[in-house]
Amino acid sequence: MGRKFVEFIFFGNYFVGTLAVALSLETAFQLQIHFNSSLYYLLLFFGTVMYYTYAYSGITSANNSINPRTIWYAKHHDFIKWSQPVLLCICTILSLVLCLRYCENILRLPVAYWVVVSVICLASILYYGLIPKSFIKLNLRNTGWLKAFIIGFVWACSVNLLPLVVLQIERGTYYVDPVFALWLFMKNWMFCTVNAIMFDLKDYEDDSNQQLKTFVVRYGLEKTIFFVLIPLLTIGVFALLLFAHFRHFQTVILLFNLTPFILMLTVAWSMLRHKNILYYLIVIDGLLLVKAICGIAGTQFIK
């Protein structure tokens, strides 16, 4: 029973929805701004679950696959078949309530905010190649080594920039330190990109068969870990130390922000041996939750 529940939460992408909310809350804490409304966080949660489940919603049979996630989706095809429309209805209702409640503020939204929303929406649509192929033949999931950077960019936009857009709609003007906000965006982009590269390790065989030239397909497992993951994380650590020095971070705040990077370096090293898919889903995605918790905890020591 316990394993079935874990598979439901992680294979069903409900944990990913939780991550989106947690990282958005971290943004509010670190920028020391108001939280968004509970309606927005609910919309973000259900929208993320529906969006990530879309890629697997067409699976009807496992076809002798040994991938536990594929087997789970084939087994629970009927559940996914009706849960996706339910999630769509929930997201539609929440969106309509927010639009009706803040209609005037939305219409008065500055152009810069519309640009941010447009970029996020466009990247999200292209990620699945949802634009008709007669118009443009582009699927960002099949862009090889760019895939991880695009995933990281979409996540950083969604949890760092989108909350600011919605806050402008819900509360009007507010102030954030632009340098600090930009640094947080870049840090999340890099962290989520490394997370996506690590996650690609589980898809090595499938990506190789599809001739999708991800980092691990191009360079192999060991080279990806030693020459891609570890250097990127090391650069991230030094960038954090440098930024902390110039911004005069307290030691305890620096340690909280360093913890996710150290843990990710440890996990990257442990991946020299093949792991079960639940390991990737729980441990690797779990690093994003640890990052959010550490980021929030660190803000409690800001004077």
Give tens-digit pLDDT for 27-49. 999 999 999 999 999 999 999 99
Contact 141, 128 (CB under 8 A): yes
- The string of pLDDT tens digits covering residues 100-114 is 999 999 989 989 899
> What pLDDT score does 42 carry?
97
For residues 144-167, average pLDDT: 87
> What pLDDT score does 222 carry?
75
pLDDT higher for 302 or 190?
190
**Would you kindly state where each structural domain of the chain is located, as residue ranges?**
2-299
Contact 284, 14 (CB under 8 A): no
Amino acid in the structure at residue 208:
S
Does position 271 have pLDDT exceeding 90, yes or no?
no
> What pLDDT score does 236 carry?
87
Token pair 């190789």 in the structure block, residue: 208
For residues 10-21, average pLDDT: 94
Does position 131 have pLDDT exceeding 60, yes or no?
no
pLDDT higher for 297 or 278?
297
> What pLDDT score does 293 carry?
95
Q: Which tokens in the block code for residue 273?
A: 């041996």
Amino acid in the structure at residue 303:
K
Helix spans in 108-203 (H): 111-127, 146-156, 162-171, 178-200
Q: How confident is the model at residue 133 (pLDDT cuts 50, 70, 90)?
A: low
Q: Which of 19-23, 122-126, 182-186 has the highest mean pLDDT?
A: 19-23
- The string of pLDDT tens digits covering residues 53-104 is 988 887 777 777 677 888 888 888 889 999 999 999 999 999 999 999 999 9
> What pLDDT score does 137 carry?
58
Mean pLDDT of the chain: 84
Q: What percentage of the chain reaches a pLDDT higher than 70?
A: 86
Please compute, for residue 116, the number of CA atoms within 13 A of its CA located in the half-sphere on the CB side.
19
Q: How confident is the model at residue 208 (pLDDT cuts 50, 70, 90)?
A: very low
Least confident of 11-15, 89-93, 212-216: 212-216
Query: CA 138, CA 144: separation in Å to the nearest integer?
Result: 12
Please compute, for residue 186, the number of CA atoms within 13 A of its CA located in the half-sphere on the CB side.
13
Q: Which of 61-65, 161-165, 206-210, 243-247 has the highest mean pLDDT?
A: 161-165
Q: What percentage of the chain reaches a pLDDT higher than 90?
A: 40
SS3 84: helix
